[in-house]
Structure 1
Amino acid sequence: MNQPSYPPMLRPLNPRKDLLAIADLIELCFAETLDQSGREYIRQLRRIGKDASTFWIGRSTDHFYAPRQGFVWEEEGKIVGNLSIFSFQTPSGVEYLIANVAVHPDFRRRGIARLLTERALDYIHQQGGRRAWLNVRQDNLPAISLYRSLNFSERLRRTQWQYPNTSFTPQGQPPTLRFSPASLSIQIRRRKRADWQLHQHWLLSTYPPDYHWHLDFQIDWFAPGFFAWLRGFLSDTRYDHYSIVKNGALIGVATLQSNLNEGKTLWIACDAAWENEALQSFLNYLSNEHLLREKITLDYPAQRATEPLQAAGFTPVQTLIWMQHSIERPKHIAQKIPNSTPF
């Protein structure tokens, strides 16, 4: 079997030596689209890169992922291209995520991003992986074209929403919410144990296993009972579950996950027929209970529930296209030399 051959400029990531240069490259390439979490990611990379004694591979208590595998493109001692690979253990096996694909502006349109991605796919195949994932902003058309040409296919689109403190009115109050008459007949109460079966079904529909493997998410953490409570107690993470009821029937469950020093994460699981009304009523409840007073983030399917979220002051940070590449067989690739291939 022929082994793929790549130019010497393409080498494996050395996480103990390359992180500072990678942080600078990511910041340069994504300066216009970095959100708060992206800037924090760069700060973490620099912190580790400056102090080798703090280097740890994997996942920390604040959910930061340090790159362990990946590849860089180096010319004249300068890293001008990067790609990181993250592996996640799931019940169905190991999932591989390609991330942080970045090429210095002065070195673009030479095929470097393509070669980095092809090298990553070869690596994942060598590890026994059967598929690779990546995400790309829906407005990044050149990158989408590149990944499609490498046989990545779109699986789903997700929008990251955020409710920042700065969205309050000058008087320090959350925005006044207006709702449809149907939403006014909906009640919010604490979740009951009997609600769990529907809650679980809707939760896995909104956050399916093919997607939630990379999130800070395990279905057992949402279940009623002692073990979920114990996990929250030991991890300084609190889950508050609210059932959304219309005419005595459960139409949704919302969960506020409180993270120490990280604000809150909102998880929504609703009957699709009542999604907008359920979310409107729950956000109104949060406003009335003065719970819209700190940062809240929400990961949600794109183009869903946009009206109630925007009416409540949530901002769409970005919409990502999640793409998947199935690795069927070893690739037979001749010597790869960068050329004028676009991107």
Structure 2
Amino acid sequence: MNVVYEKQILDWFLDFHRNPEVSWKEFRTTQTIAGILEELGVTYRTFPDVTGVIAEIGEGDEVIAARAEMDALWQEVDGVWQGNHSCGHDAIISMVLGALLYTKDRTLTKKLRFIFQPAEEKGNGSLAMIERGAIDKVSHLFGVHLRPVEELPLGKVSPSIHHGAAIFLEGKIIGSDAHGARPHQGNNALDVIVGLHQFIKSIYLSPFESYSAKLTKVIAGGESLNIIPGTAEFGIDVRAQKNEVLGSLKDKIEHGLNSLKTLYGVDIEWKWSDFTPGAEVSKEAETIAQDAIVAITGREVLASPVITSGSDDFHFYTIKNPDLKASMIGVGADLLPGLHHPKMTFNTSVLDLGARILAEAMVKA
């Protein structure tokens, strides 16, 4: 542990935490990271069309990379809608910058690349970085993420996080309004919503698989309670631990929507968005991360791989480059009440720990 580095990492975290920026609008965050890299004398590049930074140290043809996501969520906090780092991306930026601190003066036989990526919460920021060469010549890629208390207790560290796959549907029911006294003259969109809710709860796949589908948005009706609404908007959150199971779930939902159109005599329009693939964890990268955890903290800190229904666009890097050996390190941080909760808090003492483990994993690779 380096006390100066530990304080610096915490100071960076506090600055990012106080200045959250939502997906694709991480302008100050990008500028701040670039300024830090300039002060450290590290080569980096930014992009004219998207936020994000890619920095490099070391020499050689082979590249070992670490990735940090930069965006905050847009959510209501104490009655006010605002950017909020309730997923801990402010911590992740700080840990990856910390890993750079811990490696920049070491003798390196390969290049180390640090990817500061926008729009993870949109599920496609990684694709923008891939298009801009983020994983060109990269053999190993490491991520890091704080885990809630139900997954990892404070002080425990996992060598891998096995995220599930996720995709979202936004749809619109187009029927016809009617007077509340003459329901037979219209097509009640709320009847369709109720039917849709019942349908998605009756989708059955193998009980050996982990999956879920649920309505997360319904907008229908207006101020007049005597008008039966003919139109409604809705959203569905769809998740599965495996990519192929998510595909089956998606097909069943589309079949059900087409059936509901016929049953209720309405039109239903929909589109899928923000697909995030499930984890494809490299056993080799996982082993390297495990060895790094043990080297920095001892075997008593090592935890088993984390399996979670949450998703992360980190896994697009391996989907787009199957030869890439990747693993995301999970850090127990006494994180409460949970990820994406507007009042999420964690123990900041883990920031330096995560930085040192990530640095060790990059050097070992």
Do the two structures share a fold, i.e. TM-score over 0.5? no
The TM tier, using the shorter chain, reads 0.3 to 0.5
Q: TM-score, normalised by structure 2?
A: 0.31
Q: TM-score, normalised by structure 1?
A: 0.32
